[in-house]
A and B are shown apart, each in its own frame.
Chain A
Amino acid sequence: MARLLIVDDEAVILIQLKEYLRDMGYEVAGTAVSGEDAVEKARELNPDLILMDIYLAGRKLDGISAAVKIKDEMNIPVIFMTAFGGDQVLERVKNVEPYGFVLKPFQNTELKAAIDVAMIRKDMESRLRESEAKLRSVVDTANEAIITTNNLNQIIFWNRAAHSYFGYTEQEALGRTPRLLFPGKDADYIEPEMERIIASGKSELLGINFEVTGRRKNGSEFPMECSLATWRVNRQVFMTLIGKDITERKKIDQMKSDFVSLVSHQLRTPLAGIMGCVDNMLWGLTGTLSFKQMEYLQVMKEISSRGYRIIANLLNISRLERGVISMDIRPVDLCYVARNAANEHSAAIESKGLKLTVEAPDGQILVLADKDKLFEAISNVVHNASKFTDAGKISVRIFSDDSHGKVKISDTGPGIEPAGMKYLFSRNQILSGNATYKGGCGLGLFISKQFMQLQNGDVDVQSRRGKGAAFTFRIPLA
């Protein structure tokens, strides 16, 4: 039941009102006869609602001034009652954001309706305030900068993390455009996307995490990972940008990748040494070898090459991750590259008792590719085929259609389990539990795919269990 405070300078009216209100089922917590009195009683009684007469004769504070004081101090809702509704008064009343306004004389039912509406509104407002406070505390506790803009491209919301990231206070940021937060190049990337969202609700930035550079108030820059969301209220478009400072993560990534790179080089040196020595011996530089010696040296050569290849792949992964692989794309002869990539493994293939056939047209097929990366991509797949095939043959067919040069590498191995197909070209294929361990890390196919895609080509596989596998490379013709 609502507890009310009634303020009127006429005692008769107070008594009458008190009675009406009690009859209507409200509790009258108290009455006041002046503005000062009203403020005092409000403090003391903390009522749910105040019914306030505007004209309080002979006192300093009139009803409106008292209501302003009460609203500022205690935020208790007020319904004004007055016999006179002149424009000037109405204007002042409006500024207090009153919960209701009833003109005297009024019917009891009018007063009841005004009180009930005010109580509903009070309840809704307090729930809204509560949920706002909850949201605000979440948003202010967040480590991410949370920034909202409207369809005039103005910042209308700015959380604490945004302040500490960018150095602008809420007051400094509100009303500005998001351009403020990014250096020119990044602003030129984000702003058109935000405009597109306002115009069409669509953007490639929605629903993904993207990296941009943020610019602080002092001009310094930092890497950020952001996501962008949009919503509409009454045909107004809003966008929220959530951004995270990833300076530390970048540093750690860099350290990790430098470490991998350093370790790889350190591991490669002794292996390269062993391979060189073995090569020299096989080449006859240390005198004639017996058949047994040759056999042992071949095995040494193979296992050290395998180690070398694994390390090379780790290095490739680390460079793919860092995005520092550049492609030197120019016209190259696909027949030459693919033939060499296949022949690199011919000794290993033949030593397993398998047959290697290479079928290519006469002349060249000129494609646009990075010669070394194309070689590595094809070589990885031939190497894989030779690892997994125990009987039969590996055939390499080089051909072309109107737009692409193609290389198809087929084997007579066990084929690929349907469940494994999904992960075949992924770097997590070992972790997926679907790969068969065959002296490798399962990184080769991932690298092949990445390399082909970086050269505007691709590699795909077709396979049925027990029927072998066929990998097809394609690369644009020059």
Chain B
Amino acid sequence: MVLLAFLVLIALAAIRMRDLFIVVMLFSVYSLMTAALFMDLDAVDVAFTEAAVGAGVTGVLMLSTLRLTGRWERRPSHGPLLPLIVVGITGAALIYGTLDAPLLGDPAAPVQQHVAPRYIEQGPVEVGMPNMVTAVLASYRGFDTFGETFVIFTAGIAVLLLLGIQEGPETRPGRTAIGDQLVLRVVVKMVIPLILLYALYVQFHGDFGAGGGFQAGVILATAFVLYDLVFGEGDARLVVPPSWLHRLGALGVLLYGAVGLYALFAGKPFLDYSALAHDPVHGQHLGVLLVELGVGITVFSIVLAIFYALSGRRKAS
């Protein structure tokens, strides 16, 4: 597998590099290749998310941090022996663990047997949507996704507690980090509406194709990050003021929770979407739509808030 070999090369290069800018770039490439690998392994939703999050958001956040902390790494003073031993033992344990593992692609493997067939056979019927990943994500294991939304929300709270979102000369309207680039401005102006439209499509089309609230939230946030980079943080903040973001994030998780509580008051278990309508499958549809909306709102606002917090930070003197 060529992809896997490339991944190994990138990982090795990332270990050796002292220029952190290159390391971050390598990591983004690594994520993108992983996403390609996921496509190959039939995980389209995961590939989509990995590309948007790993290659996109994580990379941008890391670069924003490097702007503040400096680009070069010092050579470590201690030797690599002890870490190598720890890594060696851990790796050996993992390899040992895979020796009895079912072979890749084996349809008789336990993973394919017990729980999974119901998702594949009944998912499209019981939950009423062709994308089984969305059905499992938002309905069968909707509570995990509820927790996941809280994880993102928690990260937002943590970053705001640590950094807050600063106001300064750089964040006033009309200032840009990269200067006035005419070509970029024209191109980005044309691209942004497309990104916004695509985000909406991904948000509401998750039942049928790859995508959903999480991916849509990230894409929407990227549109603003792009606008921010080209037209300046100040202008971006005029469009979406930072003080809205944490409130919006809170509203998103509360929307998800409210759907759950609604079922509770209707006498059904928490997050049982069939309580939302007379016809259970119809209720599932409505429930998934609403919780995905909540996820999208939270992810969008928290990702953007974290970006503002890092990119708007003044350099320590």
* Same complex origin of A and B: no
